[in-house]
Amino acid sequence: MCSGRVDLGFIQKAFASGQDGVFIGACRLNECNYVTHGNYDAFGNVLIFKKIMKEELGLDPGRLHIEFMSAADGNILADSVNRFTRQVKELGPLGKSEGLDPEKLSLGLKAVGRLVPYLRLVERERFRIPVKSKQAYEEFFSSPEFDRLFRELIGEKLALSKIMLLLAQEPLSTAEMADIVGLNQSEISAYMNDSSRQGLVRYDQKLKRYALA
């Protein structure tokens, strides 16, 4: 299977199922057998999800790795898998070394899962750069421009996705949502105001809490 088939949804599902690490093997860059540069697409997806792991989920990005090799590079595959396995074993179970609350981690991964169709679109439309080189990809995905786009296109959507998942369970106050999601109350209030105007949530005067509309 072409590594270009491995999109953000595949990675999210692996971690959501409890896998402690995800290893992706891809063809050598600039040696695509199908002239589609699918390995660059996989590379971009990995860099995007590493950002999600670090900034939105609190997971060590080292739990996700992509290795580029040819069919003849059996030694590289063996060495890479062994090295990655040792690294994941040192990190321990998913979220343990990061000190994450299992319920909050599960909430974050579910929020990412709900946004996968949107994330696929954003990846295709905004994060595929024209220059196909490892250096160009690494420079773009570590640039202030990518940071800005990530906050605007992904960060805010993930925060709202988490909030909607929480409200699907029970009505909550802005303080309660802020504590769980990790935002301040003014940010939560802004999300609630926008969502109220869109008819997604309502404020329950009796409970003094927000609920799904």
In a domain, 91, yes or no: yes
pLDDT above 90: percentage of residues in the chain? 82
Question: CA–CA separation, 138 vs 91, rounded Å?
Answer: 24
**pLDDT of 34 strictly over 80:** no
Q: Is residue 168 part of a domain?
A: no
Residue 122 placed within a domain: no
3-state SS track over 74-97: HHHHHHHHHHHHHHHHHHCCCCCC
Q: Which of 14-18, 29-33, 66-70, 157-161 has the lowest mean pLDDT?
A: 29-33
d(CA 121, CA 8): 11
**Based on the structure, what is the number of domains in the chain?**
1
At residue 99 the predicted structure's pLDDT band, cuts being 50, 70 and 90, is very high
Whole-number mean pLDDT of the chain?
93
pTM here? 0.92
Of 66, 84, 86, the C-alpha closest to 11 is 66
Residue 203's pLDDT is 94
- Cα radius of gyration rounded to whole Å, the chain: 19
- Give domain status of residue 149, yes or no: yes
* Host domain of residue 55: 3-101+132-154
More confident residue, 3 or 60: 60
User: Residue 22 falls within a domain, yes or no?
Assistant: yes
Q: Is residue 66 part of a domain?
A: yes
pLDDT of residue 72: 83
- Residue 24 to residues 5, 10, 65, 69, 169, Cα–Cα distance (Å): 11, 11, 6, 11, 35
Mean pLDDT of 33-38: 77
pLDDT category at 5 given cuts 50, 70, 90 is confident
Query: 175: pLDDT confidence band, cut at 50, 70 and 90?
Result: very high
On whether residue 94 sits in a domain, the answer given is yes
pLDDT at 71: 79
Q: Is the pLDDT assigned to residue 36 strictly greater than 90? A: no
Sign (positive or negative) of CA dihedral 25, 39, 155, 62? positive
Q: Is the pLDDT of residue 123 over 80?
A: yes
Predicted local confidence at residue 116, as pLDDT: 96
Task: Give yes or no for residue 19 having a pLDDT over 90.
Answer: yes
Classify residue 140: in a domain, yes or no. Answer: yes
Confidence class for position 113, pLDDT limits 50, 70, 90:
very high
Query: Which pLDDT belongs to residue 98?
Result: 95
